[in-house]
Structure 1
Amino acid sequence: MSQTQSTTLADAVQTAVKEAKENAGKAISGLAALARDLDMEETADRLRTTEEQLRADTFKLIVMGRFKNGKSTLLNAILGGTTRQVDLGGQYGPMVVDDLPATATLTGVRYAEEPYVKAWGFDGKAQSWSLRRYLTESVLDTDQEESERRFAGIKEFEMGFPAKLCRSGVTVYDSPGLDDHPTRTPITQEATRRCDAAIIVYRSDVLMGQGEMMDAARVVADGTRVFTVVNLWGRAPDERLKGFVWNRYVRDQLGGPKYDGQDLAAQSIYFLDAENARRGRYDGDEALVAASGLTAFEQQLGDYLRRERSQIHLRKFATQAGNLAAGIEQHIDQRRVAARTDQERLHTAYEAILPRLTALQDRPSRLPGIFDRHRRRAEAEMTASFLSLVARLRQELPGHMETVELPTGDKFTKVFQQRKLLAEAYGMAGEFVTERIRTWVEKESVLLLRPVLEDLATEIEKEVASIGRELDEIHLGLTGWQVASSGGGIVSTKERVLSTIGAVLVGDLASALGGGAGGWRGAVGAAAGGFSAGLLLALAGVTSAAVFLPVALVAAALASIAGGGAGLVNRAKKKVLADVDGKLALMPDEKTSMIAAELKEQFDTVERAVTIEITALLQEERRNIEEIVELNQRDQAERDRALASLDDAARALADHRLALQRALVTAQQG
């Protein structure tokens, strides 16, 4: 890659709102110091974590699409240029490229001066690979069964690589083809929920089939920014191609207007030649890179990273810090009031509220019962729905198999191709079953889970509101302090806690205090999709047609259809129906326990996060009340000094909040 290249994606990311992020980090660090001085250790810890997340500023980008659309080729071009020489064995990039489907499973590339590879299993354990081993052994085998054996236990690869782009805080994911194999698609779907943006690659010679576009739309998580790339295979992006892409994607899929010469880049649609981009980048031919369309695409993607994405990132963590600052302001205000309250009156009030304060510490013990009740409801409804699905499958499969045509069945030599005939029948039956199960997981299960999670959210909200009211009443009884008299900057206890635990329901505790994409309520809808993705992974063995097509089963079935050509197709279908129906008959006992286990894990994860947050709140509030009592019982001179110190803390708090606001303005100006 040319060292004199004027504008690269890596350069754009490195220059993105550095000053704003630095100023916001200093403000958050100052807030953490204030919280620590006020003995608000939980708040101080959260602010330190918030600062670390702000400074880390990791951006996750996934490249996806049908197999052989050029995803890995494009990714190699984007990753072009390293901070040091790397021996790639003659390859143009670290991603494996082949004329057959090559990408076995998800690979995440992050910056490392020394290359490394880890193979992460579904059990959460990692095995170290060398880069050379990855380049030679991560490729799909030409035999699907051999590929399944080799990669069955690998969920994803993690690669450390000295790419300039990754040094800028970007992690890039290469994904297997969406329709390459159904056991890998759920992994790609889950990965998009962790990513800020997705590049979906299509190829110009087999362009945007309806199924291909539906697969892409189904896999991409809500809120993920999408960039559409049409990989040019031997043609230029003329008006006819532009019109086709616009009408197929913008008009038909997004509901936009008909093509009339619009700029496709306005809809984040780009045309480029991935192979020429890759060759130009690694040969140092920037003219070829520009001609390929990659330079223009990188400038647009870099602009997103520099402006829009940085605004979102800063806004998220500045909002998080702002909500925590509201808690600090509340404690300062409460202690000011306490320093001026009559000592005898407060001491008497404290003795009276001690039983209530002690009882409050036990409130988290109610949560397991709440979660268990909703989990059992979800399990019962999901199990009943799955049993109904299996019953429908057993009822409808015979009719479906009657209508399908087996390709080998039309050949006069079919009597000599009985193995192939059976394989076709097993494959068609398996595809029918697995497609219906995937549809059930992705659609019906979401519809079932949503009202359960909404009711759970309502009950949690009531519980938190009750705790908030109890704390407000305690403070009112102690000192006369109340939210209404404390100014417009105070955020209620309920709002602060719900903003923290809301995004737990979408699996992103880091963005919780920002309220997620749709706030506390918006998190509930996204949670149903997240639970569904977990179920899809848990049922990966069922959502693979290969489970109905083992070699041994085909071999054993051969004897049962032996005979002449007359009626051979019907005998094959009858045998397959009997075998598949037998598997379906066992499925309820085998799979409902998997559904229950996955639901329990999902509910337990949310319960733990909610319990930790509420417990931390109560512990901090108890210490605050004890500090209030201790402050109130000091002599007048000490109380005056404490009030002066609290006034200083209030001014510092206001300064830090102002710095956060200025950082946001800087980010928005880009």
Structure 2
Amino acid sequence: MEWSEEFKQAFDNFKAEARTALEQLITIAEQLKLERVIADLNTAKLRLSEDAFVLMLMGIFNSGKSTLLNALLGQPLVEIPDLTDGKAPMPMGKLPTTAVLTSIKYGTDPSVYAWNFEGKCMDDWNFHRYLKQAKVKEDEQATREFFRNIRQFEVHYPCLLTASGVECMDSPGTDDLPERTAITLEAIPHCDAAIALFRSDFLANESSRKFFHDAQKTGLRMFWVVNLMHDDRPDSDDYPIAFLWSRIIELTLGGPKYTGQSLEDFARYDVYFVNAQKALKGRFLNDQSLLQESGILLLEERLRDFLLRERMIVHIQRYVELGVNRADTLRQTIHTFKGAISADQQELIKARKELEPKLAELRRRAKSLDQLIDRYQEEILNAVGIEFDAYATSLAAKLPEVYGKKEMKTLKGLNPVWLPLPNHQEKVMNEGKQLLQESLSELGEEFSTRLQSRITDILERMHEEIKDRITELSQEYSQLRAKIPGTSLQISGEMVSTLDRVLSALAGLLLLDPAGIMFGSSLGFRGLLSTLLVQVAVWATAFATGSLAVLYIAWPAVILAAIFAAILGLEDRVKKFFVREFLKTYNLSRSDINNRSNLKSEQQEELYQATREYQRHRLLENIELELNTKTFQEVRKQVNAYIDEEEGIIRQSIEEGLKDEAEKARRLHEFSQLEATIASAKSDLKDVLVRVKQLG
């Protein structure tokens, strides 16, 4: 998949013209010492230059994600010794392979790196080691142990796709270990689009559909691929089109019921049928007929169309519109300065004396917003603690009910006759743990959903209260500006008020209001609240599922004898055992563990991390850190920047008017020239907007 050269050249030209106009506005903002405007314009210029497009592949274990990704990537542009004989860069196999989130990006030097959970690069990996070792191991415990310190792999792979600015993310299965699923969820807000993969012989289960739904809620653009297994042909007469429509279009995407729709109707919902194995073979053999038959070319065409006609156009519009907005800010500021220059100096001195104490009072009132933010942060943390305690307490009643509905295949039919064999006992043990983990995940998702809803409600109330406070402050700043001799409140109906910009920024921070993208240098693509709520879902699910506690369940010999004493009611006894042993570990306290003298200190610490007490603490700690270092920190930053800008404009306006006559004449001439430059730059930016929309 490559960019069309015609479109790419057009976009490059648009961005070059916009950057030139933004650089002119930055120079003027620097002359006027408007720090917030400088920061916004620099951000617009920087992000306008970014071409990276991040595409994630997600789906259940062994759905063919790595195979499809290898087909999309294709052969390298340079020779890679470890990838001879047609080897692809991502590990593949008959069993599930992707154990860790992996990013694949362009690099002139083909290489593989492993990153730990502290954000540090570990020892270098080469492709040979990566293809051999970076796979899911034989059992869950071995996988956890091998990858316990590896958060993510980063693969530098020079090919046509990555050279075009596309970065790919290969994710573990959506039904993988909860902590790995959590890492995948954390990466979603940083992606532009995702391919959700289904197997044609086993469509997504309930947990995977929930995962896809949560991903969509963040605003992620989704494309859906049915990986055709065993040479399935969707155009054959016996292909279950109605069944696929029901499972994918109706249940997963919330579309209409099946009423005889054709295969072509799936594409209206961006659902595509691809044989990943054929696509990979066709790509590496350069066999166009095989590629056409595989269905990958249609998918690539749609991805390319989205990248160029939707994503890139929106990308350019977002930051060019920010430049237009800030050009209006500059014009409005210069108008205020020119008015003060024309005023009587004695009146300006009198006005300064009157305004200084009022400015100090407004700053003191603005600082009270810190207390408001602290109050809402405490409310959020209290809500988290209350919801977690209610969830953890409910496990004793809910877990047996949910777990009881699961079917243990290792205890069905004639399987119990094999129970005396250690091998079959291990199979029963592994299945019991897996089903227990699934039950906990279902209950954990309910907890996560409730928690997200409560936090959203709190943030909505916080937004309304901050908006009211900022509105009051803005009205008073406007009144103070009006008291500067020679100035007026408005110069044109097209001007966007500072208040509107601040409120739209706060909406983007707290409520996912799309208007928030018009303001602020660090709102990101979808707003900080999207990231916060995804993080909450990640931590809530990870810490609520008690996955570590499940690992501590073991079969003592005396328990084995009691459980397997009779076939009648065997499955029920096994499930009760699992629930009892899980709750026993999960509800241990720190003092309980410290009293276990038979355990070494590191063993005590590992056991403590499996408990409800520890996981509650970590959940609260992570959410508090996220609020302090990102979401609420940004709210404080935006409010303080607003106060600084308002004060600065008022004070500088008076200073401009108190200069000597010669200097004032020079400044008036300079400001007139700046106004002309601003008008020209704004016109150029608006012209780019018009032509970008025409290209779409």
Q: Taking structure 2 as the reference length, what is the TM-score of the superposition? A: 0.86
Q: What residue in structure 2 maps to residue 18 of structure 1?
A: 12
Superposed, 1:451-490 pairs within 5 Å as: 451-479=457-485, 481-483=487-489, 485-490=490-495
The one of 549, 568, 591 aligned to 2:615: 591
Structure 2 CA distance for aligned equivalents of residues 227 and 571 of structure 1 = 44
Q: Deviations over 1:450-484 (max 9, x none)?
A: 1111112122223332332232122111236344x
Distance 2:284 2:3 in 1: 15
Partner of 2:233: 236
Q: Could you tell me which of 95, 106, 115 is aligned with 1:100?
A: 95
Aligned counterpart, 2:151: 155
Contact 1:64 1:178 in 2 (8 A): yes
Deviation at 1:184, TM superposition (A): 1.6
Supply the RMSD in Å over aligned alpha carbons: 3.1
> Partner letter of residue 471 of structure 2?
A
CA offsets 1:591-621 (integer angstroms, 9 cap, x no match) = 3222221221122122222222333333344
Give how far 1:40 is off: 1.9
Q: Which moved more, 1:575-584 or 1:95-104?
A: 575-584
The residue type paired with residue 632 of structure 1 is G
Are 1:314 and 2:316 counterparts?
Answer: yes
**Among 497, 500, 504, the residue aligned to 2:502:** 497
Report Cα offsets for 1:51-105 as digits up to 9, x if no partner: 0111113211111111222111111111124332223433532111111110011
1:438 pairs, out of 431, 445, 455, with 445
- SS of 1:412's partner is helix
Cα offset, 1:107, TM superposition: 0.9
- Map of 2:136 onto structure 1: 140
Shift in Å at residue 501 of structure 1? Answer: 4.4
Aligned to 1:613: 638
> Which residue of the other structure, out of 334, 337, 340, is the alignment partner of 2:336?
334
Distance 2:224 2:349 in 1: 67
CA contact (8 A) 1:16 1:306 kept: no
Deviation at 1:334, TM superposition (A): 0.8
Residues 556 and 333 (structure 1), Cα distance of their counterparts in 2 relative to 1, 3 Å cut: farther
1:458/1:140 Cα in 2 relative to 1: closer, same or farther (>3 Å)? same
Shift of 1:335: 0.7
**Mapping of 1:213-612 within 5 angstroms?**
213-233=209-229, 234-238=231-235, 240=239, 242=241, 244-252=243-251, 253-256=253-256, 258-261=259-262, 262-362=264-364, 365-399=367-401, 406-410=408-412, 411-416=416-421, 417-441=424-448, 443-479=449-485, 481-483=487-489, 485-505=490-510, 512-514=516-518, 526=530, 529-536=533-540, 540=542, 542-543=544-545, 545=547, 547-550=549-552, 553-555=554-556, 558=559, 561=562, 564-565=565-566, 569=570, 572-586=574-588, 587-604=611-628, 605-612=630-637
In 2, distance between residues paired with 1:36 and 1:294? 50
1:198 to partner: Cα distance: 0.8
Choose from 192, 198, 204 the match for 2:194.
Answer: 198
Matched position secondary structure for 1:459? helix
- Report whether the alignment pairs 1:169 with 2:148: no
Cα drift, residue 32 of structure 1: 0.9
- Check whether the contact 2:114–2:125 (CA below 8 A) recurs between aligned residues: no
Which letter does structure 1 place at the counterpart of 2:108? E
Aligned to 1:640, which of 665, 680, 693?
Answer: 665
User: 1:580 corresponds to which letter in structure 2?
Assistant: F
Q: Give 2:371's aligned amino acid.
A: G
- Distance of aligned partners of 1:333 and 1:242 in 2 relative to their CA distance in 1, 3 Å threshold: farther
Whether the aligned pair in 2 keeps the contact of 1:228 and 1:270 (CA below 8 Å) is yes
Task: Give 1:382 deviation, angstroms.
Answer: 2.1
Comparing 19-28 with 201-210, greater Cα deviation is found at 201-210
Deviations 1:602-661, CA, capped at 9 Å, x for gaps = 221222222223333333443333322222123344323322222222222122222222
Following the alignment from structure 1 to structure 2, what is the Cα–Cα distance between the partners of residues 630 and 44? 21
Q: Distance in 1 between matches of 2:240 and 2:20?
A: 50
Distance in 2 separating the partners of 1:117 and 1:181: 23
Structure 1 residues 397 and 66 mapped into 2: Cα distance closer, same or farther (>3 Å)?
Answer: closer
How big is the shift at 1:400? Answer: 5.0
The more displaced of 377-386 and 341-350 is 377-386
Compared with structure 1, are the counterparts of its residues 346 and 400 closer, same or farther at alpha carbon in structure 2 (3 Å cutoff)? closer
Give the structure 2 partner of residue 39 of structure 1: 33
How far is the alpha carbon of 1:16 from its aligned partner?
Answer: 5.8
Measure how far apart 1:398 and its partner are: 4.0
Q: Distance in 2 between matches of 1:574 and 1:210?
A: 24
State the 1:178 CA deviation.
0.9
Structure 1 residues without counterparts, runs of 5 or longer? 1-6
Q: Which amino acid aligns with 1:477?
A: K
- Residue 529 of structure 1 aligns to which amino acid in structure 2? L
Paired residue type of 2:624:
K
Larger displacement relative to structure 2 (150-159 or 356-365): 356-365
State the percentage of identical aligned residues. 27
Instruction: Name the structure 2 match of 1:57.
Output: 51
Is contact 1:108–1:157 with CA below 8 Å preserved after alignment? yes
Q: Equivalents in 1 of 2:164, 2:225: separation in Å? A: 23
Deviates more, 1:541-550 or 1:309-318: 541-550
- Ranges in structure 2 where 5+ consecutive residues have no aligned partner: 589-610
Render the CA deviation track for 1:360-387: whole Å, top value 9, x for unaligned.
Answer: 4445543432222112112222222221
Structure 1 contact 430–546 (Cα < 8 Å) conserved: no
Name the stretch that deviates more: 122-131 or 650-659: 122-131
Displacement of 1:401: 5.5
| Corresponding residue SS for 2:587 | helix
The answer as to whether partners of 1:231 and 1:271 remain within 8 angstroms in 2 is: yes
For the pair 1:86 / 2:87, whether they are aligned, the reply is no
Tell me the SS of whatever aligns to 2:555: helix
Structure 1 residues 276 and 399: CA distance shift in structure 2, 3 A: closer
Q: TM-score, normalised by structure 1?
A: 0.89
